[in-house]
Amino acid sequence: MKTLNLGILAHVDAGKTSLTERLLHDVGVTDQLGSVDAGSTRTDTLALERQRGITIRSAVVSFVLDDVTVNLIDTPGHPDFIAEVERVLGVLDGAVLVISAVEGVQPQTRVLMRTLRRLRIPTLIFINKVDRAGADPERVVRAVAEKLTEAVVAMGSVAAAGTRGAHCTPYGPADVAFTDRLVDLLAGQDDTLLADWVADPSSLSYPRLRRALAAWTSRALVQPVFAGSAITGAGVDALIAGITELLPTVQGDADAPVSGTVFAIERGPAGEKIALVRLFAGTIRVRDRVRVGAADAVLVTAVRAVAHGADVVASAVEAGHIARLWGLTDARIGDPVGVPLARAGADRHFAPPTLETVVVPARSVDRVALHAALVQLAEQDPLINLRQDDRQHEITVSLYGEVQKEVIQATLADDFGVGVTFRETSTVHVERVCGVGEAVEVIAVAPNPFLATVGLRVAPASTGAGVSFRLGVELGSMPPAFFAAVEETVRRTLRQGLRGWEIPDCEVTMTHAGYWARQSHSHGTFDKSMSSTAGDFRHLTPLVLMTALTRAGTRVHEPVHRFRLEVPGDVLGTLLPALTRLDAVPTDTTGQGSSYLVSGEIPAGLVHALERRLPALTRGEGVLETEFDSYRPVRGPAPVRARWDNDPLDRKEYLLAIVRRVGGR
């Protein structure tokens, strides 16, 4: 049977989970419609999700439409949980982007649509809540064409919008304006269709236009727009028909070598690790041994398949499907299963978290339990970037926003019995290399205490290039394990630069290498004091790298958000000076009738301050949209993250501090 892995994405409160519930009800999976307000939804299973009425963790349910198995993935809409959406994108065959007919295109909508288009994920747009007061689906369609993508076509009309009696009528071959719009849209994509239309317009039959629409939608070049209400069910039948007609299905090869990806990690009732895997090819059976990531093959001890609206015990999972697998104890989110596929990678699609905070246990005796609990949470959400300062005994996590902090606090209390508080949220900066710097430590030459020679040269890399490690010495000049130890330690050490911030983009070249070969006494006993080990290279590399970085110099950069601010015209004179005081830089001011649209950039750490002050500055009429844009050099004194860098250390203490920081002993 063919499969379709379908993601439901939206800005928070657009009605995404309600649409999921309506789909499950209308296709016969559930007898009763779940309600977000009542906490009875099928996909929001966490107690915290039901209490807050928001989706925190992605959930998967399955149903059959005609001859297609649809695995429906409901994702969070709140921007604080964008990491959950990121993990799902790599396993999708198609998506439905939900937009409110009242609020229209919102900041998160822009971010999601831009990402879906960049990844070429076939997408249908559903304008929800047409029954709500203030609903204006035609206005939203125009906004979608202006702000998201021009390649859109409305698939039906809405009557009595904004009332409980709102109903939707799909367009058909008799709707001339609709067919003309299809011709205009599709002819711009299909040269053959355009040539046929020029030669004989009557040759373009309605069935042919629908086939062409399906073909270009499946290539993510056209986005059909449906409208309706998840609450009343209006228009949902047309959306269901569109899902089966317009989105591409897959027929994986169950006999091919196993190839999949881990896109989520859960914990079972006994604390066991459960890996959610999308299988692109092959078959995984219980008791099979599969390779996960770079580790050795492990035994699959149990399989639960997502099928027919439930999570059922299965003996195997085949290509195209999603399943929960037990036994993958070292699996991490993004790990390939079996043969890696290019599309199965854990690429970064959204901006990283730009905030961080220190987590403090309410009772000092809970410090160990807190760390263990956060380790489990970090398995489920690696972007919280769990870090522990062994000198200050502090645990730090990265965040997207304050709501995420509240959810972490509640989860630790409810699931692990650990009460916590948080220090004030601060901004996550990065360091960028300014120039080129080199350093070398030679074996048996003081003050090098290790049996290793390491020389490194660091140089700047372009933004987004990541960390590259190259060899400037012959590969055969020492054992491969020693080179691997140096590269691994370089990457780990660059998580904290000279001022304690991560260096995300850097070129590192190994310029010198040397070691003492394995030596033994005459009676055959191995003598560590005369033989180099990988540990020598792991301990020496941080010192050499930090010295090279000191000579190259680094500069601290802060995250900056792009903002769009719509305000009444008469407050512009007082608003602009207030933006300046918040270190915001307006780059464009455009008049729109009696209002102004101000756009520019503002440091991420001051976005919340602007949000708090905006109602007073604009009489409550200002509308603010922000999203991460880039990093820029910090103005004024550079903030320092790691306290050890300020301590007056001599060379030996400095070396020991670095070794402790990267896990040496």
**pLDDT(208) > 80:** yes
Of the listed ranges 76-90, 241-255, 388-402, the one predicted with least confidence: 76-90
Cα–Cα dist 359/406, whole Å? 12
Are 119 and 636 in contact by the 8 Å Cβ rule? The answer is no
DSSP E strand boundaries for 333-452: 336-338, 355-361, 387-389, 394-399, 420-422, 426-427, 430-433, 437-441
Per-residue confidence band for 665, with pLDDT thresholds at 50, 70 and 90: very low
Residue bearing the bigger pLDDT, 29 or 461:
461
* Of 39-53, 262-276, 408-422, the least confident: 39-53
Cα–Cα distance for residue pair 497/644, rounded to 1 Å: 12
CB-based contacts of 35, cutoff 8 Å, min separation 6: 18, 21, 41
Flag the least confident range among 332-346, 359-373, 528-542: 332-346
Q: Assess whether the previous peptide bond of 447 is cis (omega < 30° from 0).
A: yes
State residue 38's pLDDT score. 52
* Average pLDDT rounded to a whole number, residues 253-259: 90
pLDDT at 232 over 80: yes
Contact 356, 396 (CB under 8 A): yes
Mean pLDDT score across all residues of the chain: 84
Q: How far apart are the first and last CA of the chain?
A: 55
Confidence of residue 661 (pLDDT cuts 50, 70, 90): very low
pLDDT at 218: 94
What is the C-alpha to C-alpha distance for residues 520 and 231, in angstroms, rounded to an integer?
78
d(CA 290, CA 170): 47
Residue type, 215: A
**Most confidently modeled range among 269-273, 530-534, 595-599:** 595-599
Q: What percent of the chain has pLDDT over 70?
A: 87
- For the segment 499-522, the average pLDDT, to the nearest whole number, is 86
More confident call, 594 vs 456: 456
Strand partners, 6: 72, 94
The bridge status of strand 68-74 relative to strand 2-10 is parallel
DSSP secondary structure letters along 249-294: -B---TTSPPEEEEEEEEE-TTS-EEEEEEEEESEEETT-EE-BTT
Question: Which has the minimum average pLDDT: 91-105, 160-174, 527-541?
Answer: 527-541
pLDDT of residue 35: 60
* Cα(266)–Cα(57) distance, integer angstroms: 10
Q: What span, in angstroms and rounded, lies between the C-alpha atoms of 400 and 81?
A: 7
Question: Residue 649 — pLDDT band, cuts 50, 70, 90?
Answer: very low
* Average pLDDT over every residue of 331-342: 83
pLDDT of residue 664: 43
Paired tokens of 193: 């269709």
Q: Which residues partner with 124 through β-bridges? A: 96
Domains of the chain by start residue, with CATH? 2-246 (3.40.50.300), 259-338 (2.40.30.10), 355-428 (3.30.70.870), 431-552+645-663 (3.30.230.10), 555-633 (3.30.70.240)
Range 616-626 average pLDDT: 84
A 10 A CB-CB count for 177 gives 10
Task: List phi, psi (to 5°) of 174.
Answer: -80, -10
pLDDT surpassing 70 at residue 464: yes
Q: Give the tens place of pLDDT for each residue, 11-45.
A: 878 888 889 889 888 888 776 765 655 555 555 45
561-608 per-position pLDDT tens digit: 888 888 888 899 999 999 999 989 999 999 877 889 999 999 988 888
Instruction: Convert the pLDDT of each residue in 124-160 to its tens digit.
Output: 999 999 999 999 999 999 999 988 899 999 999 999 9
Question: Which of the pair, 311 or 283, is modelled with greater confidence?
Answer: 283
Residue count of the chain, please give it.
Answer: 665
Phi, psi at 262, each rounded to 5°? -90, 115
Residues 6+ positions from 168 with CB-CB distance below 8 Å: 130, 156, 157, 158, 159, 226, 227, 228, 234, 235, 238
Amino acid making up residue 374: L
pLDDT digits (tens, 9 = 90+) for 173-192: 999 999 999 988 988 888 88
Q: How far is CA 564 from CA 50, 111, 341, 597, in A?
A: 33, 14, 39, 7
639 or 554, greater pLDDT: 554
Helix (H) or strand (E) holding 563: strand 554-568
Cβ atoms of 74 and 29 closer than 8 Å:
no
* Type and span of the H or E element at 302: strand 302-307
pLDDT classification of 660: cutoffs 50, 70, 90: very low
Cα separation values, 53 from 9, 11, 16, 401, Å: 16, 14, 12, 17
Whose tokens are 């007073």? That residue is 616
Q: Give the pLDDT score at 646.
A: 37
Give the rounded percent of residues in the chain with a pLDDT score beyond 90. 40
| Predicted TM-score (pTM) of this structure | 0.73
Give me the phi and psi of 55, to 5 degrees please.
Answer: -90, 130
